[in-house]
Amino acid sequence: MRLVYRAGLWLVTVLALVWVLFPFYWAFLNSIKTPDETFQPTWIPFLQFQPTLEHWRSQLATPEIRHALLNSTIISIGAATIALLLGTLAAYALARFRFKRPSNGALTTWFISQRVLPPVMFVTPFFLLMRQFGLLDSVLALVLLNATFTLPFAVIILSQTFRELPRELEEAALVDGASYFQSFLSIVLPLTLPGLAATWIICMAFSWNEFLFALSLTSKSAIPMPVIIAGAEHTRGVQFWFVGVNVLLTMLVPIVLALLAQRYIIRGLTLGALKG
Amino acid sequence: MDSAGDNRRSVEYGTDPKTAQPKGRTDRVKYLFIGPAVIWVLAFTIFPLLYALYTSFYTYRFGQRLGFVGLDNFVRLFGDVNLLSSLRVTLIFVVGTVATEMILGVGLALLLNREMRGKNVTRGIATLPLFATPVAVGYLAITLYYEQDGPINSLISALGGRDVPWLSDPVWALVAVILVDIWQWTPFVFLVTLSGLQSLSSELYDAARVDGASSLQNLRFLTLPLLAPLLWLILLLRLVEAFRVFDIPVSLTLGGPGRATEVYSLYTYRTAMRFFDHGYAAAQGFLLLVIVMLIVSVIFSRVRGLYEEG
């Protein structure tokens, strides 16, 4: 009976893993198949078909793709850096000082509540405002917006990270005459470096994946990866071999980033309710 | 909604006799720390929100503001058949995805909450869909749903079923969109529930075992009540996210066939960016906000405890 139970458990796990992993494998297969073969239900390279790296080569040599990869990189790093800078300062304030009106709790909730607003309601104001400021189709606009939308994550994850840090060290420094800012820079930041790095990485991954505003505000020179795969399919029809390459090119970056920050992901995704 | 966060531990330095900092200094410093983020949110969230409200009182044609129309854009909401249809599609999507994800995710977490080999690998793999770019997932899904000899239909016919018209039939297209969301977000429910389960104290279970509780009784009277606030939070986060769905229907079906998968956000996006009817799009945005806020206000009180413990 116990054996049956364990076998059942094992079966469930394997099924779940196959369910999760198969789409990635299929994208990979499409990316190494010749155009004719992508429409065949063949599963095993070398045995059933001869794999080719031609699509990877040709996509990576396409100027638009390279430009989009560059844009995505600038947007993610820029947005995550701004969110981290602002978020670190705000999180430290929430973790170490007492605010009265509004209270710390109210401030925290105010930052979290940004996440409840439906993004689509910002399409119109951002489009009109960016047009006003001449920032349509600019990488800067997307840096600013993604910094805005990832800021709540940074504030929440980091204020918990700071709370977990014993405050005795900082207090000793303050007694010795250091300013709040000095103790923040020379004691708090070095000790929470892993948390800071993880937060930066998670904000980068979210910014990389953002699609709605990238689609609304770019038309040519600022187009990032998520938009270019959308555009490519609409003009050329769905070419499965290029879909395979583009999909993997786009997904690989945020996935690798997420695996690097594994420990902090639960905390980020639950807006700090779980320390995970 | 003001008591989230941790008040008790945020003792003000200035009041600590050991540090003996003058009180005025703390007061000024704390605003320097929190100020930049507050100003940023005011500039990039609150101001655009007010600007959207202002926009919603005007009529726009081809992106140019024409005249003040008062509440006309909001009145239009109630006679718009297409909006109603997008709301219906969104509700079906929300119920279909969130219910399935909660049942599957919580079920798997309860089942796999034990010491087993490869636990970290399993967790790592479960993380992959969460961070896979949603638009990319949508395009990838086109190749999976491909109706002639695509991998899904191949599997179905191998099991003796008939080919499913995944993307060409209105009902199946919505099912296809829902399935992709389930693929992407069930791991979220699973991972969060699992770490919630692992934070429960084992002493309670030892006590229950001494009292002769069955594992079903443990689940009913111990695990579920203890986990309830967390499960409400997961439900809340999933609902909020599901109502804003955009990327997957855009990439997988473009809202089609017809309007079968045109979700609310997609309809509003089209109102704004295809018809440049910005006043009306802004009004639609506020209706969606009201719907989401209603849900949040119903659930939030059950979740609050999680934040108060810090």
CATH number where A214 lies: 1.10.3720.10
pLDDT for the residue numbered A237 = 60
B190 contact partners, CB below 8 Å, separation of at least 6: B104, B105, B106, B108, B109, B126
Task: Please give the C-alpha separations between residue B168 and each of A269, B147, B251, in angstroms, as whole numbers.
Answer: 35, 9, 15
B64 contact partners, CB below 8 Å, separation of at least 6: none
- Which one of A41, A92, A120 has the shortest CB-CB distance to B265? A120
Residues in chain B: 310
Complex ipTM value:
0.90
The pLDDT tens digits for B274-286 are 999 999 999 999 9
Distance (Å, rounded) from C-alpha A84 to C-alpha A91? 10
Query: Token pair for residue A81?
Result: 């850096």
User: How close is the nearest chain A Cα to the Cα of B11, in Å?
Assistant: 6
Q: Answer whether B28 touches A (CB < 8 Å).
A: no
pLDDT for the residue numbered B102 = 97
Among chain B residues, the shortest Cα distance to A107 is held by B2
Q: Is B305 exposed, middle or buried (0-12, 13-18, 19+ CB in 10 A)?
A: middle
The string of DSSP codes covering B16-81 is -TTT---HHHHHHHHHHHHHHHHHHHIIIIIHHHHHHHHHTTEEEETTEEEEE-TTHHHHHHTT-H
User: How close is the nearest chain B Cα to the Cα of A204, in Å?
Assistant: 11
Q: Is residue A38 part of a domain?
A: no
Q: What angle do CA A257, B198, A153 make, to 5 degrees?
A: 40
Q: What angle do CA A120, A121, A126 make, to 5 degrees?
A: 90
Residues A15/B117, Cβ–Cβ less than 8 Å:
no
The pLDDT tens digits for A54-93 are 888 888 888 889 999 999 999 999 999 999 999 999 999 9
Chain A residues touching B133 at Cβ < 8 A = 208-209, 211, 225-226, 250-251, 254
The pLDDT tens digits for B194-216 are 988 888 877 778 888 788 878 78
Q: Which of residues 2-61 of A touch B (CB under 8 A)?
A: 9, 12-13, 16-17, 19-24, 26-27, 30, 38-41
- Which one of B25, B41, B151 has the shortest CB-CB distance to A114? B41
Among chain B residues, the shortest Cα distance to A175 is held by B19
Handedness of CA B173, B177, B180, B185 (dihedral sign): negative
Query: Token pair for residue B232?
Result: 């409400």
| Percent helix, percent strand, percent coil in chain B, to nearest 5 | 70, 5, 25
Q: Is the pLDDT of residue B7 over 70?
A: no
Residues A95/A108, Cβ–Cβ less than 8 Å:
no
> Would you give the DSSP letter of residue A120?
G
Chain B residues touching A211 at Cβ < 8 A = 133-135, 246-247, 250
Chain B residues touching A151 at Cβ < 8 A = 37, 40-41
Q: Is residue A91 part of a domain?
A: yes
End-to-end CA distance of chain A: 34
User: How close is the nearest chain A Cα to the Cα of B86, in Å?
Assistant: 14
Q: Is residue A109 part of a domain?
A: yes
Q: Which of residues 83-102 of B touch A (CB under 8 A)?
A: none
The pLDDT tens digits for B249-294 are 999 998 889 899 999 999 999 999 999 999 999 999 999 999 999 9
Q: Is residue A34 part of a domain?
A: no
Residues B178/B96, Cβ–Cβ less than 8 Å:
yes
Q: pLDDT-based confidence at A46, cuts 50/70/90?
A: confident
A126 contact partners, CB below 8 Å, separation of at least 6: A141, A145, A213, A216, A217, B48
pLDDT for the residue numbered A22 = 93
> Would you give the DSSP letter of residue A49?
B
pLDDT for the residue numbered B226 = 87
- Tell me how many domains chain A contains: 1
pLDDT for the residue numbered B5 = 40
Domains annotated for chain B, with CATH where assigned, are 13-55 (no CATH), 75-308 (1.10.3720.10)
Residues A220/A137, Cβ–Cβ less than 8 Å:
yes
Average pLDDT over chain A, rounded to an integer: 88
Query: Token pair for residue B285?
Result: 């945005």
- Which one of A40, A121, A124 has the shortest CB-CB distance to B149? A40
A62 contact partners, CB below 8 Å, separation of at least 6: none
Residues in chain A: 276
Among chain B residues, the shortest Cα distance to A30 is held by B143
pLDDT for the residue numbered B112 = 86
Q: pLDDT-based confidence at B42, cuts 50/70/90?
A: very high
Handedness of CA B41, B45, B49, B50 (dihedral sign): positive
The pLDDT tens digits for A132-150 are 999 999 999 999 999 999 9
User: How close is the nearest chain B Cα to the Cα of A127, in Å?
Assistant: 9
Among chain B residues, the shortest Cα distance to A141 is held by B44
pLDDT for the residue numbered B308 = 57
Task: Please give the C-alpha separations between residue B32 and each of A51, A98, A157, A186, A230, in angstroms, as whole numbers.
Answer: 58, 13, 20, 18, 42
Which amino acid appears at position B119 of this protein?
Answer: K
Query: Token pair for residue A189?
Result: 């930041």
Q: pLDDT-based confidence at B28, cuts 50/70/90?
A: confident
Q: Is the pLDDT of residue B26 over 90?
A: no
Q: Is the pLDDT of residue B128 over 50?
A: yes
Q: Is residue A69 part of a domain?
A: yes
Q: Is the pLDDT of residue A152 over 50?
A: yes
Mean pLDDT of B23-35: 78
Residue with tokens 């979740």: B303
B185 contact partners, CB below 8 Å, separation of at least 6: B97, B101, B129, B130, B238, B241
CB atoms within 10 A of CB B29: 20
The pLDDT tens digits for A217-232 are 999 899 999 999 887 6
Q: Is residue A30 part of a domain?
A: no
Residues A257/B277, Cβ–Cβ less than 8 Å:
no
Task: Please give the C-alpha separations between residue B245 and each of A119, A214, B51, B181, B288, in angstroms, as whole numbers.
Answer: 10, 15, 23, 9, 12
Q: Is residue A128 part of a domain?
A: yes
User: How close is the nearest chain A Cα to the Cα of B90, in Å?
Assistant: 13
User: How close is the nearest chain B Cα to the Cα of A57, in Å?
Assistant: 19
pLDDT for the residue numbered A170 = 85
Chain A residues touching B143 at Cβ < 8 A = 26-27, 30, 38, 238, 240, 243-244
Q: Is the pLDDT of residue B153 over 50?
A: yes
Query: Token pair for residue A48?
Result: 């059933």
Measured in degrees and rounded to the nearest 5, phi and psi for residue B114 equal -160, 165
User: Residue B140, Cα to own-chain centre: how many angstroms?
Assistant: 21
Q: Is the pLDDT of residue B51 over 70?
A: yes
Residue among A85, A146, A105, A89 at smallest CA distance from A272: A105
Residue with tokens 């999909």: A247
Chain B residues touching A127 at Cβ < 8 A = 272-273, 278
Domain containing A240 equals: 64-269
Q: Which helix (H) or strand (E) holds B245?
A: none
Q: Is the pLDDT of residue B16 over 80?
A: no
- Which one of B6, B44, B135 has the shortest CB-CB distance to A226? B135
Parallel, antiparallel or unpaired: strands B58-61 and B64-68: antiparallel
Contact B307 A97 (CB under 8 A): no
Handedness of CA A96, A101, A105, A107 (dihedral sign): negative
Q: pLDDT-based confidence at B8, cuts 50/70/90?
A: very low
Contact B130 A266 (CB under 8 A): no
Mean pLDDT of B39-68: 92
Distance (Å, rounded) from C-alpha B134 to C-alpha A250? 10
Q: Is the pLDDT of residue B243 over 80?
A: yes
Residues A137/B295, Cβ–Cβ less than 8 Å:
no
Chain B residues touching A108 at Cβ < 8 A = 4-5, 307
Chain B residues touching A33 at Cβ < 8 A = none
For B47-78, give one letter per residue: b (16+ CB within 10 A) or e.
ebbebbeebbbbbbeeeeeeeebeeebbebbe
Contact A89 B269 (CB under 8 A): no
Q: Is residue A18 part of a domain?
A: no
Q: Answer whether A185 touches B (CB < 8 Å).
A: no
- Which one of B3, B18, B244 has the shortest CB-CB distance to A120? B244
